[in-house]
Chains A and B, each alone.
Chain A
Amino acid sequence: MEEFFAGVEKRAFRLAEISTGNRDDALDILQDAMCKLVDKYASRNPEEWGPLFHTILQRMIVDWYRRHAVRERFRGWFGLNHNKNETEDPMQNVKDDIAKTPEQEAHSGRRIAMLDRAIRGLSLRQQQAFLLRTLEGCDVKQTAQIMKCSDGSVKTHYSRAVHILREKLGDDW
C-alpha cells in the first residue's frame, strides 16, 4: 500500500490542488482519500487500488465542491457576497490561495498558475474528465468508471474542456 501511495500521491495532490485552488484543502482531501482506501479496501487486489483511489478522491472533491457551494450560498444570504452573480459557476468563485503576484508568476510558476486558473474555470465534470485523462493518464473507459458516467459523457466533457482551455489559453500555448 505504501508503494502504491508513493506512486500516485503527487499527481493526486496536484489534481486536488487544481480543483480546489487551495493547498490545505487539497492535502486534507488527499489524506482523507488515503485513509478511506486503507480502511475500506486494503484487502482488495492491488490492481483495483488505482481506480478505487481515484473514485474516492473524485467523490471527495465533489463533496468539497458541494460544501463550498453551500457555504457560498449562506454567505450570499447573509449579504457577505454583494457582488456575486447567482448564475456564475461556484468554482470560479473559489478563493485562489495559490495565486501569486505578477512578479512571482513571471518566474517559474507563471505558466502553471495560468493553467491552473484556466482549468479551475471549467465546470467540475469537465475538470474531472480533463484532469483524469491528461494528468492521471486514464483512458475513456477508466475515466467513465471513476466519474460514474458513460463513455460518451466523458468524451463530451473532455472535448468541451479542451475547447474552452484553447479559447482561454490561446493556440500558442
Chain B
Amino acid sequence: MTIEDKDQEFVNSIKSELNESVQNISARELSAITQSRNKALSNKTEKKSAWIFIPAGAIATACLAVVVYSFIQVVPNGQNLIDENSELVSVLESLDLYEDPDVYEDLEFHEWLDAYESSS
C-alpha cells in the first residue's frame, strides 16, 4: 500500500467519524441551531417591513433639504437688503444735511451763487 493510499484511508476514516458526529448532534444543540435559522430568516421578514419606513425618512430628509436650501437663498436677498439700507442711509444723510443750521444761514449766499453762475 502506497503512502497516498494510506493517507486516503486515514482521511476516509476521519471523514466517517466527522459525518457520524454530525449525525449525533444532541437534541439541545439541534434546537439551538433551528432557533438560529429561524432568527436569521425572521430578520429577513423584519427587514422587508422596515422598507415601509424608508419613504417617511426620505420625505423628512427632503423637507430638511428644502428648508436648508431656502436659508441659503436668503443670502442674495440679504445683499439686496443691504443695498436698500445703504440707499436709505444716504437719503437720511441728505436730510441731515438740510437740517444743518449752517446751510440755512448761508442759504442767501448759495442762492446768489446759483444766480451768478446761471447768468454767467
Contacts and interface: CB of A to CB of B under 8 A. Distances in A.
Answer yes or no: are A and B bound together in one complex: yes
Secondary structure type dominating chain B contacts: helix
What is the size category of the interface that chain A forms with chain B?
Answer: 20 to 34
Interface string A25-65: 00100110011011100100000000000000000000000
Interface string B1-15: 000001100110111
Contact of B14 (A5, A13, A35, A134): A134
A166 B14 CA distance: 10
B18 A135 contact: yes
A111 B10 contact: no
A11 interface: yes
Nearest to B45: A38
Interface residue SS majority, chain A:
helix
Interface of B: 6-7, 10-11, 13-15, 17-22, 24-25, 29-30, 32-33, 36-37, 39-41, 43-44, 47
28 contacts: A1-B41, A1-B44, A2-B37, A5-B37, A5-B40, A9-B37, A10-B30, A14-B22, A27-B32, A27-B36, A30-B33, A30-B36, A31-B36, A31-B39, A34-B36, A35-B40, A35-B43, A37-B40, A42-B44, A108-B24, A111-B17, A112-B20, A115-B18, A135-B18, A135-B19, A135-B22, A162-B10, A173-B13
